[in-house]
């Protein structure tokens, strides 16, 4: 019997889940829940109802796993503990510093209600976290390096758009090639986040705006750009619309370590992603972890889990036997 999936929130992530389920024939979309007027939400799937979130409780027994597709800033800290009372849930909570508090709240709620909740699913946190963990346990004497990009940083793009005179803007985070090369060569450099990344900005100005002023405001913005190698390009609205609508992203995780009697041997573990669509890739990761959530729930497991707790085989619809003969 197929795993019945609910989507809560129909933005980029919700739409991504919907297409991801098409690639996973053992799962099916049961319903989309929205805070908007359901009659105004047009989804891709035929014969799948769009339901007001106010009626979600009636679906308690009709859904195996609810995928929470809201944002980490305000939605998920509320939603995940709340919906883990009624459903097995998966979220993409990605505020690294707040993971412990989020985990505690979700764990309490899920355990009290006999549900499974898998949080912080995606690629960072998610697959990158797994790479860091495998790298650290295999090469305890070593260093970690995470590079992001090339990809759009939504928060930084928003920050530029708040500057007076800016009509539209997109900020790309790009890894510094020479820093990556040093890591690949096993040089074990000391690198701050600022030394590992360039911030490249594409800005459309309002009519009559002062380019020099805008550029200075960007480059000196505390926390966001000050201290970074920041490149600003002013472009036309046409060029912006033509070339900067994408949601590509990616990044690299390295573990560089030494082994041997005299620590004479170097080893480099490298994991990287090159993604045309950040939300679609993220939601494909979610779909695989939804499968694991359904299996853990069937086994009677409860509480909050992360990617660290899930045996890799639980992500696959294939039997252990089939996995061993085809992929080991």
Instruction: Verify binding: residue 42, a second copy, rule CB under 8 A.
Output: no
Which phi and psi (to 5°) does residue 296 adopt?
-65, -40
Is there a contact between 6 and 287 (Cβ–Cβ < 8 Å)?
Answer: no
End-to-end CA distance of the chain: 27
Beta carbon nearer to a second copy, 132 or 199: 132
From CA 229, how far away is CA 249, in angstroms rounded? 19
Instruction: Verify binding: residue 295, a second copy, rule CB under 8 A.
Output: no
- Single out the residue of 8, 2, 1, 24 nearest to residue 89, CA to CA: 8
Least Å distance, CB 18 to a second copy, is: 9
Beta carbon nearer to a second copy, 56 or 76: 76
Instruction: Verify binding: residue 136, a second copy, rule CB under 8 A.
Output: yes
Tokens 């912080």: give the residue: 120
Instruction: Verify binding: residue 3, a second copy, rule CB under 8 A.
Output: no
Alpha carbon distances (Å) from 302 to 6, 29, 87, 105: 19, 23, 11, 14
Of 125, 149, 151, 251, the one binding a second copy (CB under 8 A) is: 125
# of chain residues touching a second copy (CB under 8 A): 66
Beta carbon nearer to a second copy, 141 or 190: 141
The region of 65-73, 119-127, 197-205, 232-240 touching a second copy under the rule CB under 8 A is 119-127
Provide DSSP, 43-107: -SSTT--EEEGGGGGGGTTT-SEEEE-S-TTTHHHHHHHHHTTTSEEE-----GGGHHHHHHHHH
Of 99, 182, 209, 221, the one binding a second copy (CB under 8 A) is: 99
Is there a contact between 49 and 31 (Cβ–Cβ < 8 Å)?
Answer: yes
From CA 41, how far away is CA 48, in angstroms rounded? 12
Instruction: Verify binding: residue 274, a second copy, rule CB under 8 A.
Output: yes
From CA 68, how far away is CA 47, in angstroms rounded? 21
Instruction: Verify binding: residue 11, a second copy, rule CB under 8 A.
Output: no
| Burial of 23 from C-beta contacts in 10 A (0-12 / 13-18 / 19+) | exposed
Which phi and psi (to 5°) does residue 234 adopt?
-95, 125
Write out the binding residues for a second copy, residues 146-205 only, by CB under 8 A: 184, 186
Least Å distance, CB 211 to a second copy, is: 34
Least Å distance, CB 112 to a second copy, is: 19
Instruction: Verify binding: residue 5, a second copy, rule CB under 8 A.
Output: no
Determine if residue 11 is labeled as part of a ligand binding site: yes
Of 137, 155, 190, 223, the one binding a second copy (CB under 8 A) is: 137
Instruction: Verify binding: residue 127, a second copy, rule CB under 8 A.
Output: yes
Instruction: Verify binding: residue 260, a second copy, rule CB under 8 A.
Output: yes
* Edge-to-edge strand ranges of the sheet holding 116-118: 50-52, 27-34, 3-8, 65-68, 88-90, 116-118, 303-305
From CA 276, how far away is CA 229, in angstroms rounded? 25
Q: Strands 88-90 and 65-68, how do they pair?
A: parallel
Instruction: Verify binding: residue 293, a second copy, rule CB under 8 A.
Output: no
- Which segments are annotated as binding site? 10-13, 34-36, 69-72, 92-94, 121-125, 148, 173, 199, 249, 278
Q: Which residues bind a second copy (CB under 8 A)?
A: 16, 19-20, 23-24, 44, 96, 99-100, 103, 120, 125, 127, 129-130, 132-134, 136-141, 184, 186, 259-261, 264-277, 280-281, 284-285, 288, 291, 306-313, 315-316, 320-321, 323-325, 327-328
- Which segments are annotated as binding site for NADP(+)? 10-13, 34-36, 69-72, 92-94, 121-125
- Which segments are annotated as binding site for substrate? 148, 173, 199, 249, 278
């Amino acid at each position: 019997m197929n795993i019945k999936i609910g989507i809560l929130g129909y933005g980029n992530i919700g739409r991504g889940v919907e297409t991801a389920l098409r690639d996973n024939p053992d799962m099916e979309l049961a319903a989309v829940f929205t805070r908007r007027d359901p009659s105004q939400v047009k989804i891709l799937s035929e014969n799948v109802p769009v339901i007001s979130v106010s009626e979600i409780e009636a679906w308690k027994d009709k859904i195996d796993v609810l995928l929470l597709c809201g944002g980490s800033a305000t939605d998920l800290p509320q939603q995940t503990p709340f919906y883990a009372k009624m459903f097995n849930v998966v979220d993409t909570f990605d505020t690294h510093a707040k993971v412990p508090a989020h985990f505690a709240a979700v764990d309490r709620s899920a355990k009290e209600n006999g549900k499974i909740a898998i949080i912080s699913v995606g690629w960072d946190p998610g697959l990158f976290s797994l790479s860091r963990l495998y790298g650290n346990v295999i090469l305890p004497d070593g260093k970690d390096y995470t590079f992001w990009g090339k990809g759009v940083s939504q928060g930084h793009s928003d920050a530029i758009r708040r500057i007076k005179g800016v009509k539209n803007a997109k900020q790309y985070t790009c890894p510094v090639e020479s820093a990556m090369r040093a890591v690949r060569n096993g040089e074990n450099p000391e690198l701050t986040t600022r030394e590992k990344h360039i911030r490249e900005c594409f800005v459309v100005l309002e009519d009559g705006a002062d380019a020099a002023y805008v550029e200075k405001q960007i480059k000196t913005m505390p926390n966001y750009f000050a201290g970074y190698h920041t490149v600003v390009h002013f472009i036309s609205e046409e060029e912006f619309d033509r070339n900067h609508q994408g949601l590509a992203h990616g990044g690299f995780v390295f573990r560089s370590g030494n082994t041997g009697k005299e620590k004479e041997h170097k080893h480099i573990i490298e994991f990287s992603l090159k993604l045309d669509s950040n939300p679609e890739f993220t939601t494909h990761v979610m779909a695989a972890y939804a499968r694991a959530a359904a299996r853990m729930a069937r086994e009677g497991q409860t509480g909050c889990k992360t990617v660290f707790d899930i045996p890799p085989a639980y992500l696959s619809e294939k039997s252990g036997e089939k996995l061993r003969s085809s992929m080991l």
